Structure 1
Amino acid sequence: MTIIKSMSVGDGDLCYVYHNSNSFTIIDCNLTGERDDEIIRELKEKSANKSVKRFISTHPDQDHISGIEKLDAHGLINNFYVVANNAHKEERTVSFNHYCDLRDGGKAFYLFKNCKRKWMNQGDDTRGPAGISILWPDTENPYFRNALSECNRGISYNNTSAVLRYSLQGGATVMWLGDLETSFMESIEDSITLEKTTVVFAAHHGRKSGKIPDSWLRKLDPQIIVIGEAPSRHLDYYTGYDKITQNKAGDITMELIDNEIHFYSSKPGYRHRNLPNRGKASFPNYIGSLTVETEYTLG
């Protein structure tokens, strides 16, 4: 069993993966004060029995690194996974300074397309892998190199985002796209491997500026798209796809067991009309389940 939880942290991201191996992964953070103690307490409790703890930073926007120094102070960043960069910012926050210290320090492992790492995606006789693969960036790709140049000059950070995919053996797959922008995704489509994926976290929190191209969606064929927190007027609601919107659902917990995912919401009144009820009660506020599809349903 794997637990994936996307926390409601305002217009930003914080997600954790409680792996069915001996790993615990945090992807991005946006700790702005309102829920810090509660979230840190949960992260410490859930990771307590895991010996491998990693933080994956998709990119250095403030809403993806805010409060990173707080996580580190509580011993929640044993390994720091990051796309190599030399990001520049005129206004250097405490969190950005700490991000740079981690990025350039001894905890850092630099992410790139198809990279290998114990215990991220390699195991041995004593410990299994965490099931995380890195689909992007291709550091030699000209579009990425241009995006990296803009990041290093302090112009924009979105298109340096790493693309991550988690796979549960014999079960679901889940993808994170950071804050990639639509035009950039269109440019790199021939350079990234896109396969059927059960749950996709919409790029850029679901904003229209990060709308996943239709050509990508035909390859990913997701059963659920998770749309993050942002003002409704800025969101694309992915007509024709089942989705869960974090604006309404709050914290979203996914319980991955064999070939099923069971979904829970932190909002007691939240309902999802297309997810069948299978009577699960591992966490409060169960909203439904899905069975993982293995065949494409789109053309």
Structure 2
Amino acid sequence: MVVVKSFSVGHGDMFYIRHGSDNFTIIDCCLSEDNKEEIVEDIKLASEGKGIQRFISTHPDEDHIQGLTYLDEQITLRNFYCVANAATKDDFSESFERYCQLRDSPAAYHVYKGCKRKWMNQRDDERSGAGIQVLWPNRTNEHYQAALQDAADGIAFNNISLVVRYSVQGGASFMWIGDLETQFMEDIVDDINLEKTTVVFAPHHGRHSGKIPNSWLVKLDPQIIVIGEAPARHLNYYTGYKKITQNRAGDITMHCEGDKVHLYASEENYGTRFNDFDDEGQAMYDYYVGSITVETEYTLDG
């Protein structure tokens, strides 16, 4: 059973993927004193029986690494995926200090566009791959190199975000873009391989400053855009696209089954409804809000 979950963590991001293979992936971390025990317990239960666990850090802004020390202490992040960087901060937190320790440790794997790694996107006789492809960064790109320098100077961190795409064999696909800014996405559009993707998580929590440009949207042609929990006045609602707004939905759980994605929200009164309905699926998770049929078949392992 493949499950993708987006946690409701306020103005931050945190996700997991329970793969159909022997893999479990956590993407970003935003834990507080109020939610950390519940979320980590959820992750422990969801990852039971999985032989390979990895953590993917899109970039080291606090709202994507908050509580990283607690998460590492609770589950031990033995496989830490991030971009190679020398980010610094004058006023650094405990979470950023742990990020730097993991980034510079033997547990780290520094990802880049098109990278291949056993069980991330390669199989062997022991287990199949996780269906994860890293689309960005191109480490020789001039815009990315400038963003790396800004991070090393402690100026800004958004544009060192990686872009990762996860595909379920014969089913849905998902994309994470970290906090890339709109102009940066425009600048690199000819240097990143974009294709139709079922669910796209809007960068910068859905803010106007991270709006996915039309040059990307035409290629991605998403069936659903997930908009995060930035203040409503700062959100871009992607007119013309189906979306889920995490401000109203709470936790979003997506159960992938064949060419279907069944969607659930933790908020009982969330009103969005999608194309299809499945009577058997309505009691699996929190509150069922409908299903979609994947428009394109994908071929990567899941």
TM-score (norm 1): 0.97
- Whether 1:207 and 2:224 are equivalent positions in the alignment is no
Partner residue, 1:243: 243
Query: Shift of the alpha carbon at 1:45?
Result: 1.3
1: CA distance between counterparts of 2:76 and 2:222?
31
Which secondary structure state, in structure 2, belongs to the residue aligned with residue 114 of structure 1?
A: coil
Which secondary structure state, in structure 1, belongs to the residue aligned with residue 75 of structure 2?
A: coil
Query: Shift of the alpha carbon at 1:221?
Result: 0.3
Match of 1:294 among 284, 293, 296: 296
1:73-92 correspondence runs (5 A):
73-92=73-92
Query: Shift of the alpha carbon at 1:277?
Result: 2.0
Structure 2: gaps of 5 or more residues: 298-302
Q: How many residues align?
A: 295
Query: Shift of the alpha carbon at 1:33?
Result: 1.2
Partner residue, 2:116: 116
The structure whose RCO (Cα within 8 Å, separation 6+) is larger is 2
Query: Shift of the alpha carbon at 1:274?
Result: 3.6
Kept after mapping to 1: 8 A contact 2:113/2:136 = yes
Kept after mapping to 1: 8 A contact 2:171/2:296 = no
Partner residue, 1:176: 176
Query: Which residue type is aligned with residue 286 of structure 1?
Result: Y
Kept after mapping to 1: 8 A contact 2:276/2:293 = no
1: CA distance between counterparts of 2:41 and 2:296?
37
- Whether 1:152 and 2:152 are equivalent positions in the alignment is yes
Which secondary structure state, in structure 2, belongs to the residue aligned with residue 74 of structure 1?
A: helix
1:11-90 correspondence runs (5 A):
11-90=11-90
Query: Shift of the alpha carbon at 1:256?
Result: 0.6
Q: Which whole-Å deviations, capped at 9, do the CAs of 1:238-294 have from their partners, x for residues lacking one?
A: 000000000000000000111110000000111213433222132121110000002
Query: Which residue type is aligned with residue 129 of structure 1?
Result: G
1: CA distance between counterparts of 2:91 and 2:44?
31
Query: Which residue type is aligned with residue 285 of structure 1?
Result: Y
1: CA distance between counterparts of 2:284 and 2:30?
26
Root mean square deviation of aligned Cα: 1.0
Q: Which whole-Å deviations, capped at 9, do the CAs of 1:108-137 have from their partners, x for residues lacking one?
A: 000100001111001112200000000000
1: CA distance between counterparts of 2:267 and 2:158?
30
2: CA distance between counterparts of 1:76 and 1:120?
18
Kept after mapping to 2: 8 A contact 1:275/1:287 = no
Partner residue, 2:190: 190
Kept after mapping to 2: 8 A contact 1:199/1:223 = yes
Query: Which residue type is aligned with residue 230 of structure 2?
Result: A
Query: Which residue type is aligned with residue 99 of structure 1?
Result: Y
Which secondary structure state, in structure 1, belongs to the residue aligned with residue 24 of structure 2?
A: strand
Query: Which residue type is aligned with residue 151 of structure 1?
Result: A
Partner residue, 1:268: 268
Query: Which residue type is aligned with residue 157 of structure 2?
Result: Y
Distance 1:99 1:242, change over 3 A: same
Query: Which residue type is aligned with residue 267 of structure 1?
Result: E
Kept after mapping to 2: 8 A contact 1:53/1:76 = no
TM-score (norm 2): 0.96
2: CA distance between counterparts of 1:38 and 1:102?
24
Partner residue, 1:234: 234
